[in-house]
Amino acid sequence: MTKPLIELRDVAIRYGRGARAPTIGPCSLQVAAGEIVALVGESGSGKSSLARVAAGLQQADQGTVLLGGEIAADLPRGAARALLRSVQMVFQDPSNSLNPNQTVARTIREPMVVRGLRDRPAMERALAGLMELLGLPERLLGAKPASLSGGQKQRVAIARALAMEPRVLVCDEALSALDVVNQLAVARRFEALRGQGLGMLMVSHDLGMVRRLADRVIVLRAGRIVEQGSVAQVLDEPADAYTRALVRATPDVLRGGLDLTALDTLATQEILEMGDHP
Ligand SMILES: Nc1ncnc2c1ncn2[C@@H]1O[C@H](COP(=O)(O)OP(=O)(O)OP(=O)(O)O)[C@@H](O)[C@H]1O
């Protein structure tokens, strides 16, 4: 059997020492190639903490993180770094994650340099490919974040993450700050990337988007996984009382997924052009 791209085994995180210090876990989860797994739960339930551990940005206090069946710390330094680079993270607010002094081109080229790409023409081809994939017009290559719309900034952040050629993308509310047009455009890109084998762990409050994108849903409450299963199982027939409350707390229109039927008939480029007014 192929190994999951990411596996968290009995991962626990503890913030501080006192009896009331927030504790998350132990939690176990897996993301396979071409699979989108959603982490949902109320604010403070531990979604972002687990996402950061999965992305290698935070150390767990207990448990193991396996990437493609391997533990980075067990490998020689170069191999460990390459393994850790196979997971990239996209955050909610691109304004905080992009360097305000760097152009779009430099932002997206940088990870290519980090992963060792030295061939300039290959780099330019990869840059052009990512710009096209994310619906970013060429004229933005020399632009700095301040002159981009929120949607464009987030698409640059996603292009930068993909420039590392990750096997898994960890998205922490990556679509929440976007308007519905940009959400749909990016969701379509994620669907296409999943088709190419990319795995995704997505943290989201938006059960409509979870229904659209995710294959499986994991429900967290107060640092513990209370339920997990397919989207249909968890969102339509939740077994756990907390999941039922979470689903019920979402307005009908969002629970069923946003009605994007009219927009969905348009080509992605048309959708992006609608959303590209800075
Ligand atoms: N760096 C930190 N130091 C101390 N406590 C923290 C830290 N990060 C998170 N916590 C605490 O850990 C718990 C889980 O936080 P986390 O951000 O992982 O939850 P979340 O489900 O992602 O919440 P939200 O949906 O509001 O982003 C919370 O009680 C939070 O206050």
Q: Which CATH class is domain 6-48+93-275?
A: alpha beta
CA 273 to ligand 1 centroid distance, Å: 36
Residue 221 phi, psi dihedral angles, 5° rounding: -140, 125
What is the domain partition of the chain in residue ranges?
6-48+93-275
pLDDT, tens digit only, all 278 positions of the chain: 689 999 999 999 999 888 888 899 999 999 999 999 999 999 999 999 999 999 999 999 999 999 999 999 999 999 999 999 999 999 998 888 899 999 999 999 999 999 999 999 999 999 999 999 898 999 999 999 999 998 899 999 999 999 999 999 999 999 988 888 888 888 999 999 999 999 999 999 999 899 999 999 999 999 999 999 999 999 999 999 999 998 888 765 555 555 555 566 666 666 666 555 44
pLDDT at 261: 58
Instruction: Return the SS3 of 257.
Output: coil
Give the tokens for residue 182. 């940009």
Q: How far apart are CA 231 and CA 250, in angstroms?
A: 15
pLDDT at 278: 43
CA 48 to ligand 1 centroid distance, Å: 7
pLDDT at 264: 62
From the CB of residue 148, how many other CB atoms can be counted at a distance below 10 Å?
Answer: 21
CA 44 to ligand 1 centroid distance, Å: 5
pLDDT at 215: 97
Angle at which helices 180-195 and 268-275 pack, to 10 degrees? 150
Lining residues, ligand 1, CB within 6 Å: 15, 22, 24, 41, 43-49
pLDDT at 2: 83
Burial label, 233 (beta-carbon count in 10 A; 0-12, 13-18, 19+): middle
What residue has token string 């989201």?
204
Q: How far apart are CA 70 and CA 123, in angstroms?
A: 29
CA 202 to ligand 1 centroid distance, Å: 16
- Looking only at the bridges linking them, the beta strands covering 199-203 and 168-172 are parallel
Residue having the nearest C-alpha atom to atom 16 of ligand 1: 46
Q: How far apart are CA 242 and CA 139, in angstroms?
A: 48
pLDDT at 198: 97
Q: b/e for 234-270, b at 16 or more Cβ within 10 A?
A: bbeebeeebbeebbeebeeebbebbebeebeebebee
Residue having the nearest C-alpha atom to atom 11 of ligand 1: 22
Q: List the Cα angle 193/69/109 in 5-degree steps.
A: 45
Are the CB atoms for 157 and 136 separated by under 8 Å? Answer: no
Ligand 1: which of 49, 91, 201 to mutate, judged by most atoms within 8 Å of the beta carbon? 49
pLDDT at 199: 98
From the CB of residue 101, how many other CB atoms can be counted at a distance below 10 Å?
Answer: 9
Ligand 1: which of 11, 13, 15 to mutate, judged by most atoms within 8 Å of the beta carbon? 15
